[in-house]
């Protein structure tokens, strides 16, 4: 199977000493869903941003299909147009309506004519069930609604892959469900996704592979069942136990 | 007082028109140049940013009147080319205002910059496309109130233009007071004309601000 995205021996160091990404390699195939989890501050977000070339890695190679993005002279804007990115802090364009947020890159990057862009943007909003909010500004929407617009903005360009950086962790607990439902929809439609998330029931349901990431490294990988039954590494086991307890507390509350 | 106005109407109008022209030119040219300076300071690299800071320090750190004198009287002794006071007036006001507006624009830009730039890049837009379609529309909305203050102080500074031989509104007042000896009335009339012009313009700026206001984007600087 051809890889949609791949990275080889990726490194990223902040300010000489904080190593956020330490020799990380991984691939993701078409239609695959991989889920990264691990303690906060372990470098997961940095890794994801490096994959999208939003933060430039120090060393190593990233491939989007056949194209190497870490070669000098690559048109990164063009490459990023093929990658959808969903932010932890949502980061909608605050001066544009939901529709305007989704439409902007369709008009300016893909150069669609106005009507075509509008139609495509509305369709993307429909997919996340936000069509009736199309003309609202971000500040007029709840966090969950904003994040659904963020997802629509990422998928409107029909990207090869969608990278999601903790898409629910900045939301109030009662708003997480609607965003997870949206992601589940995307999963059943066959989207290729690399997700950083700690939503364990969701992971168990949709992930083809889970990746435990700690201190800038991939510590352990495997299907969800492997992690929930018998993770090898002590760190993954401890982390999961805490996480599952927390999830249970939240569900009982 | 009414007859004082009607009798000297041509002079007053000429003075007012010049004052209005210089202020409008200064505020809009200053906005355009100030925007470029703000972007240059943030993205132009070390050399460009240092030059821009020196420029800003010079124009903020010396009186406008001195800047006018340098341009009008000092520079020609170096170049031996006499300068038209109108050219001096218009350009010094634009350059001076750009230095102040650069500060407002940069401050407003920094409040929106980081996450919005990353979001713009993530959709495949270039840095410049993001500045143009995302950063600037938000920045300009945020800075309208500061901009309208800058307009007030700019209008009032035009009174200095008379000292380089420019017949602005204050210059017209001086001429009228000298000819009619009605000093008190003349200066009251002049003050009222300034007041009306500043009120009208800032009111328009308020209306534009309200009209362009978008929920979630309000003054934070």
pLDDT per residue over A64-100, tens digit each? 999 999 999 999 999 999 999 999 999 999 999 999 9
Sheet hosting strand A209-214, strand order edge to edge = A83-86, A161-165, A193-196, A33-37, A209-214, A217-222
**Distances, alpha carbon A16 to alpha carbons A13, A42, B104, in Å:** 6, 16, 34
8 Å CB contact of A93 and B214: no
Q: State yes or no: pLDDT of A208 exceeds 50.
A: yes
Judged by average pLDDT, the poorest of A180-189, A191-200, B44-53, B138-147 is B138-147
Chain B CB contacts of A109 under 8 Å are 123-125, 129
Report the share of chain A in percent with pLDDT over 70: 99
Tokens of B146: 């500061």
User: Which pLDDT score, from 0 to 100, does residue B213 have?
Assistant: 87
Residues B66-74: contacts with CB under 8 Å, at least 24 apart: B67/B92, B67/B95, B67/B96, B68/B92, B68/B160, B68/B161, B68/B163, B68/B164, B69/B163, B69/B164, B72/B164, B72/B165, B73/B164
Nearest to A105 among B115, B118, B123 (CB): B123
User: Which pLDDT score, from 0 to 100, does residue B220 have?
Assistant: 45
The dihedral built from the CA positions of residue A192, A198, A199 and A203, taken in this order, carries a sign that is positive
Q: Name the DSSP class of A157.
A: T
Low-confidence ranges of chain B (pLDDT < 70): 219-221
Q: How many domains does chain A have?
A: 1
Task: Give me the architecture of the B2-212 domain, per CATH.
Answer: Orthogonal Bundle (1.10)
Determine the distance in angstroms separating the CA of A108 from the nearest CA of chain B, rounded to an integer.
Answer: 7
Query: Which three-class secondary structure state does DSSP give residue B105?
Result: helix
User: Which pLDDT score, from 0 to 100, does residue A1 have?
Assistant: 56
Concatenate the DSSP letters of all residues of A161-196 into one string.
EEEEESTTTTS-HHHHHHHHHHHHHHHHTT--EEEE
User: Which pLDDT score, from 0 to 100, does residue A178 have?
Assistant: 92
Q: State yes or no: pLDDT of A253 exceeds 80.
A: no
With an 8 Å Cβ cutoff, is B118 touching chain A?
yes
A247 or A23: which leads in pLDDT: A23
Q: What are phi and psi of A165, to 5 degrees?
A: -100, 100
Determine the distance in angstroms separating the CA of A154 from the nearest CA of chain B, rounded to an integer.
Answer: 7
8 Å CB contact of A91 and B116: yes
Q: Does A172 map to a domain?
A: no
Average pLDDT, integer, range A44-54: 95
User: Which pLDDT score, from 0 to 100, does residue A151 have?
Assistant: 96
For residue A4, the domain's CATH number is: 3.40.50.300
Nearest to A109 among B124, B141, B214 (CB): B124
In DSSP terms, A22 is beta-bridged to: A11
Q: State yes or no: pLDDT of A127 exceeds 70.
A: yes
Determine the distance in angstroms separating the CA of B213 from the nearest CA of chain A, rounded to an integer.
Answer: 9
Tokens of A68: 């190497």
Q: Does A175 map to a domain?
A: no
User: Which pLDDT score, from 0 to 100, does residue B194 have?
Assistant: 94
Gap between the Cα atoms of B37 and B30, Å rounded: 10
Q: Does A184 map to a domain?
A: no
Domain containing A40 equals: 1-81+192-253
Q: Name the DSSP class of A131.
A: G
User: Which pLDDT score, from 0 to 100, does residue B113 have?
Assistant: 85
């Amino acid at each position: 199977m051809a890889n949609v995205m791949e990275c080889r021996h990726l490194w990223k160091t902040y300010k000489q000493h904080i190593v956020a990404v330490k020799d990380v390699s991984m691939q993701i195939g078409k239609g695959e869903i991989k889920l990264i989890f691990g303690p906060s501050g372990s470098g997961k977000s940095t890794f994801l941003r490096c994959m999208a070339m939003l933060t430039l890695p120090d060393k190593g190679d990233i491939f989007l299909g056949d194209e190497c993005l870490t070669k000098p002279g690559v048109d990164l804007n063009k490459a990023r147009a093929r990658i959808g990115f969903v932010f932890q802090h949502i980061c909608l364009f605050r001066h544009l309506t939901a529709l305007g947020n989704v439409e902007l890159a369709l008009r300016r990057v893909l150069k669609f004519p106005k009507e075509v862009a509008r139609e495509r943007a509305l369709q993307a909003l429909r997919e996340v069930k936000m069509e009736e909010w199309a003309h609202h500004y971000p500040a007029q929407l709840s966090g969950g609604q904003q994040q659904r617009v963020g997802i629509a903005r990422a998928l409107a360009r029909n990207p090869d892959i969608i990278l999601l950086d903790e898409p629910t962790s900045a939301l109030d607990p009662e708003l997480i469900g609607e965003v997870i439902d949206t992601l589940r929809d995307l999963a059943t439609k066959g989207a290729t996704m690399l997700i950083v998330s700690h939503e364990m029931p969701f992971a168990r349901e949709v992930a083809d592979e889970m990746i435990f990431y700690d201190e800038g490294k991939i510590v352990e990988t495997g299907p969800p069942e492997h992690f929930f039954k018998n993770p090898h590494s002590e760190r993954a086991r401890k982390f999961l136990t805490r996480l599952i307890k927390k999830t249970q507390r939240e569900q009982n509350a | 007082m009414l007859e004082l106005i009607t009798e000297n109407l041509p002079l007053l109008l000429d003075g007012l028109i010049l004052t209005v022209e210089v202020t409008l030119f200064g505020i809009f040219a200053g906005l355009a140049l100030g925007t470029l300076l703000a972007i240059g300071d943030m993205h132009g690299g070390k050399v460009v940013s240092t030059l821009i800071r020196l420029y800003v320090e010079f124009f903020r750190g010396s009186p406008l009147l001195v800047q006018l004198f340098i341009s009008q009287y000092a520079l020609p002794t170096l170049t031996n080319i006499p300068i038209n006071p109108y050219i001096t007036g218009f350009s010094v006001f634009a350059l001076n205002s750009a230095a102040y507006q650069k500060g407002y624009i940069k401050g407003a830009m920094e409040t929106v910059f980081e996450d919005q730039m990353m979001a713009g890049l993530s959709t495949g837009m270039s840095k410049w496309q993001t500045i143009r379609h995302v950063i600037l529309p938000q920045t300009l909305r945020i800075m309208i109130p500061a901009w309208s203050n800058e307009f007030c102080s700019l209008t009032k500074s035009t009174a200095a233009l008379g000292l380089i031989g420019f017949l602005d509104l204050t210059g017209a007042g001086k001429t009228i007071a000298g000819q009619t000896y009605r000093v008190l009335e003349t200066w009251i009339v002049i003050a009222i004309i300034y007041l009306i012009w500043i009120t009208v313009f800032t009111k328009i700026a308020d209306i534009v601000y309200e009209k362009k206001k978008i929920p979630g984007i309000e003054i934070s600087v």
